[in-house]
């Protein structure tokens, strides 16, 4: 199931970014103004949440 988790990432909403997480695929999606921008696959060996936050910070 895909759910909006934008509120869990600092600065995402202020930058007009929307972050979704798909439980079925283990994928984070970042969208800008309703356009797909980037995706990150949840990897237990890496801190994917930090990678998503870093992407948002660099946006």
Name the residue among 48, 58, 59 with its Cα closest to residue 8.
Answer: 48
Rounded Cα distance between 25 and 42, Å, is: 9
pLDDT for the residue 45:
86
pLDDT for the residue 44:
82
pLDDT for the residue 50:
95
Rounded Cα distance between 12 and 52, Å, is: 10
What does pLDDT average to in each consecutive run of 10 residues of the chain (59 residues)? 98 98 96 95 91 98
- Sheet containing strand 2-4, strands side by side: 2-4, 17-22, 27-32, 35-41
């Amino acid at each position: 199931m895909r759910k909006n988790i934008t509120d869990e990432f600092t600065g995402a909403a202020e930058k007009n970014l929307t972050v979704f997480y798909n439980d079925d695929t283990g994928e984070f999606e970042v969208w800008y103004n309703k356009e797909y921008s980037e995706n990150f696959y949840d990897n237990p060996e890496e801190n994917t949440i930090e990678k998503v936050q870093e992407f948002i910070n660099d946006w």
